[in-house]
Amino acid sequence: MDQVMALENGADDYITKPFEYEIVIAKINSQLRRAYGSYAISNNERTTTVNGLKLDVEKMKLSLQENEIELSHTEAKILDELMKKTERLVSRDRLLEKIWDDQVFVDDNTLNVYITRVRKKLTSLGIHDAIQTIRGQGYRLLPNWEEE
């Protein structure tokens, strides 16, 4: 039962005692191949670009032309979701689910605060009114800035 619970809650693997050394080494090598080998996500897949605005989720940086700013982990996740669905509605529930675990209670106002912070960071890059609020539903990223 512990194995089922662990795997359903995000574990990649579960090893019970007694175990064989060769099996443990094989499982470790398998994880390393997935993280760093041919199955690993390339750097191109870890960045999202919309109209010249580049988000590097790994480094938590947002850049437009020569300007670059740092983001918090949560701000990067919000922008990643919005940029992947440019010009489409991203529901509040989807953002809450993607950014915070279902198990953690998050005050409804918390998302509003983070959206405000993301808007300020976009403004510091010269991007104004790019995140549109759809009242009671969610947000939409409108690429209204110029790519140079």
CATH number at residue 75: 1.10.10.10
Gap between the Cα atoms of 121 and 115, Å rounded: 10
Name the strand (E) or helix (H) holding 83: helix 73-84
Residue pair 47/54 in contact by the 8 Å Cβ criterion? yes
pLDDT of residue 41: 64
Same domain? For 135 and 95 the reply is yes
Domain that holds residue 55: 47-141
Same domain? For 55 and 121 the reply is yes
Gap between the Cα atoms of 60 and 46, Å rounded: 10
Gap between the Cα atoms of 46 and 27, Å rounded: 25
Gap between the Cα atoms of 95 and 16, Å rounded: 36
Same domain? For 68 and 21 the reply is no
Beta pairing partners, 68? 63
Same domain? For 72 and 93 the reply is yes
Q: How confident is the model at residue 45 (pLDDT cuts 50, 70, 90)?
A: low
Q: How confident is the model at residue 72 (pLDDT cuts 50, 70, 90)?
A: very high
Residue pair 48/57 in contact by the 8 Å Cβ criterion? yes
pTM here? 0.68
Gap between the Cα atoms of 128 and 121, Å rounded: 10
Does the pLDDT of residue 104 top 70, yes or no? no
